[in-house]
Amino acid sequence: MATNFRNTTLNEERIFGNTSGLNTSGGLISTSHPPPLPPRPAFSGGGGDMMFGNRYGYAGQSGYHGYNPYGGYSSMDMYGPRSYGGYGMGQGYAEGFSHCTLLASVDAYNPDTLDLYQDLEANRYWFACFNDMLAKFERQAMASQSTDASAKNRAQSFREHCVAMFDKLQQDRRETETLGIRNLLEVIESGLRKFGFDDPWKEQKTIENKASVGLLKHRLQQLDSIASEREKWTELVRGVLAGNMFDWGAQAVTKILETNNGFGLQQALDRIQKRPWLIDDLDGWLNRMQHEPPHRCATIFTDNAGIDFVLGIVPLVRELLKRNTKVLLCATRNPAINDITYSELTRAIADCCKECDILRTAYSEQNRLLLFGNDQIGPCLDFRMISKDLAVAIEQNKVDLLIIVGMARALHTNLYAKFVCETFKLAVVKNEWLAKRLGGETFSVGRLVGVLQREAREIRQLDNELLNQRRAQERERQAQLGSERQAAALAAATTGGPVGTTSPPPPPPLASSTSSGDKSFRQSEPFYAESSISTTPGRTPPTTIAEEKSPVTAGVKTPLLEDTPFEGTNLTLMETLQTSTTAVTPKELH
């Protein structure tokens, strides 16, 4: 676990938050190097990184065959013959694009964390993951155009197209080419455009942006009430991590958002695990912000719309502005799942300015909050090809702080990227497989099994204590009953009358060490009936409750299990645990 804020050669910090309720395992903040992944081939100027396709008809390559109404740069030829253009310094730059001057080395830079052609395990997992996810995109595409009679057929064609593209990419491997998760995400987004689904999450993003703006003032007041600067920055970072959970591209998150309309920032904050996180260099960042001069200019690449942006990123922007740091706020121009687009960014900032004078003054009067669009396709980020106006602004404003937000931009891409300025990477790891590969335990089945086993041990221990207590009470009651019968027999012998039949007293109540809910449940179980405790002829009484019946292995929902949050894990996962401990079906994406 990295702890130093400053890299020995470059200033860099990574913060990845994994929340246990969302296939994740706690926050991650790192300023140094994350655990190593399998070796990846370095990006070479000659040949074949798929990010630089033939859309623009580079020398020696065929023209672009795909439909792209937005004019954004797609990293590969999605629809035509598979021939990808090479990229080398001095060629391959399309008009309107440039590399980012913050890169330590353009030649050495490889945006992708994984190469699916070199890593066979990753290849199997991620292609299965993406094929499994297509049904969700198909449904969302249809729902976004529910009044269009052709939407169903077009959505089905979109899915079939993506399946064919994935099969082709997986089978038609070339040794000189690389393939990243970034490229698979681009297949989906370009496929949606191809079949006429411009922005399937547009309505959802509009609703979430509007609702989040209404909560902004309260969130800012909460932050302003924190006297300690260190605690305030900690809460700001936690807010960004919590906001990053609102990702409709992650299956685990989608299930929560679809079934719980009341799930908001506070609920997300409650799911952020206690530190240390998987990659945790928060202390280095806090020391930097507390003891060193403010940054001159920060560039922030945003992620999701709604709570993520309005209640996570905007308060961070505001705090930087209060330190007199200029901010360049960047969003994608082309829709990608529920990422905030540049047009949505401009509207959201205008609305946020109505709620905060600091934002309004910086944006409308002082020119210290500038908005930019980046013209790439998909949610990932390739710093070799960003919009030229953004590249110029980064250079002119002498940016000395780079903040990259979200799994796609900070984890699927740019996890190992080196920059010439301090770099802050923040994301919630919402994918079990990837967190395990990084050395963590996401809200994974493995983690859940461990939690359940611990809880099961606690339940068995409590049940055994109750059983022993019950047996002691029964022995005491039987002894008391025997004494009463003996006294009655003695009295009858003395008086010459019949032996009395004294009714045994009712069993004393259990000790009040458990809640009323526990007692009512346990007393309703057959095991806790008197007949169950008494010795049955031919049967040996159980030594422990676990031998008689385990509430966990039998699938019984005990109040203790139901009331335990499992650090945010949904109860539905417990119900399917027994069928998912040997093989995990990939569900989460980005």
- Is pLDDT above 70 for 467? yes
Residue 508 has pLDDT above 50, yes or no: yes
Answer whether residue 27 shows pLDDT above 70.
no
Q: 120-195 maps to which CATH number?
A: 1.20.1700.10
pLDDT, tens only, 316-330: 999 999 999 999 999
Of 382-386, 397-401, 545-549, the poorest mean pLDDT is in 545-549
Residue 577 amino acid letter: L
Question: Where residue 432 falls among pLDDT bands split at 50, 70, 90?
Answer: confident
* Region 223-245 average pLDDT: 93
How would you class 536 by CB atoms within 10 Å of its CB: exposed for 0-12, middle for 13-18, buried for 19 or more? exposed
Q: Read off the pLDDT of residues 236-258 as tens digits, 9 standing for 90 and up.
A: 999 999 888 765 444 444 444 44
pLDDT at 38: 40
Structure tokens at 113: 């964390």
Lowest model confidence (mean pLDDT) among 18-27, 83-92, 375-384, 475-484:
83-92
Q: Which alpha helices (DSSP H) does 280-341 contain, by range?
A: 282-291, 307, 314-322
Distance of alpha carbon 222 from its chain centroid, rounded? 24
Per-residue pLDDT band for 76 (boundaries 50, 70, 90) equals very low
pLDDT score of 550: 34
Q: Is 43 left (phi over 0), alpha (psi -120 to 50) or beta?
A: beta
Judge contact between 341 and 372, C-beta under 8 A. Answer: no
Can you give the pLDDT at residue 264? Answer: 66
**Residue 459: which pLDDT band, with cuts at 50, 70 and 90?**
low
Out of 25-34, 243-252, 277-286, 361-370, give the one with best mean pLDDT. 361-370
| Cα atoms found within 13 Å of the Cα of residue 167, Cβ hemisphere only | 6
Please say if the pLDDT value at position 98 is more than 90. yes
Return the domain boundaries, the chain. 120-195, 202-461
Higher pLDDT, 510 or 24: 510
What is this structure's pTM? 0.65
Which of 184 and 515 is assigned the larger pLDDT?
184
Measured distance CA(323)–CA(296) in Å, rounded: 9
Average pLDDT over residues 124-135: 95
Given a cut of 60, whether residue 227 has pLDDT beyond it is yes
Which of 214-223, 271-280, 308-317, 370-379 bottoms out in mean pLDDT, i.e. has the lowest?
271-280
Alpha helices in 424-444 (DSSP H): 432-437
Asked if the model's pLDDT at residue 87 lies above 60, the reply is no
Q: Measure the CA–CA gap between 291 and 294, rounded to whole angstroms.
A: 9
Q: pLDDT tens digit string along 260-284? A: 455 467 776 777 777 887 778 889 8
pLDDT at 530 over 80: no
Instruction: Please indicate whether residue 358 or residue 251 has the higher confidence score (pLDDT).
Output: 358
Q: Fold for 202-461, please state it.
A: Rossmann fold (3.40.50)
The pLDDT-based confidence of 435 (bands split at 50, 70, 90) is confident
Q: Count CB-CB contacts under 10 A for residue 125.
A: 20
Mapping DSSP to helix (H, G, I), strand (E, B) and coil, where does residue 403 land? Answer: strand
In this prediction, residue 36 carries a pLDDT of 43
Q: Which residue has better confidence, 90 or 262? A: 262
Q: How confident is the model at residue 88 (pLDDT cuts 50, 70, 90)?
A: very low
What separation, in Å, do the N-terminal and C-terminal C-alpha atoms of the chain show?
Answer: 23
Question: Would you say residue 502 has pLDDT above 80?
Answer: no
What per-residue confidence (pLDDT) applies to 428? 84
Query: What is the predicted pLDDT for the residue at 195?
Result: 98
Structural contact between residues 4 and 414, judged by C-beta atoms closer than 8 angstroms: no
Instruction: Look at residue 588 in the predicted model and tell me its pLDDT.
Output: 41
pLDDT at 65: 35
- How confident is the model at residue 468, as a pLDDT? 81
Given a cut of 50, is residue 374 above it in pLDDT?
A: yes
CA–CA gap between residue 431 and residue 436 (Å, rounded)? 9
Task: Look up residue 424 and give its amino acid.
Answer: F
Q: What angle, rounded to 10 degrees, do the helices at 229-243 and 202-224 form?
A: 170
**Could you tell me the pLDDT band of residue 176, with boundaries at 50, 70 and 90?**
low
pLDDT the model gives residue 447: 38
Query: Which tokens hold the place of 226?
Result: 């924190």
What pLDDT band is residue 137 in, cutting at 50, 70 and 90? Answer: very high
Q: What share of the chain is helix, strand, coil (3-state, %, to 5)?
A: 45, 10, 45
- Dihedral, 532, 536, 538, 540 alpha carbons, nearest 10: 50
Q: Would you say residue 314 has pLDDT above 90?
A: yes
Residue 426 bridge partners (DSSP): 15, 405
- 572 vs 266: which has the higher pLDDT: 266
Q: What are phi and psi of 72, to 5 degrees?
A: -75, 160
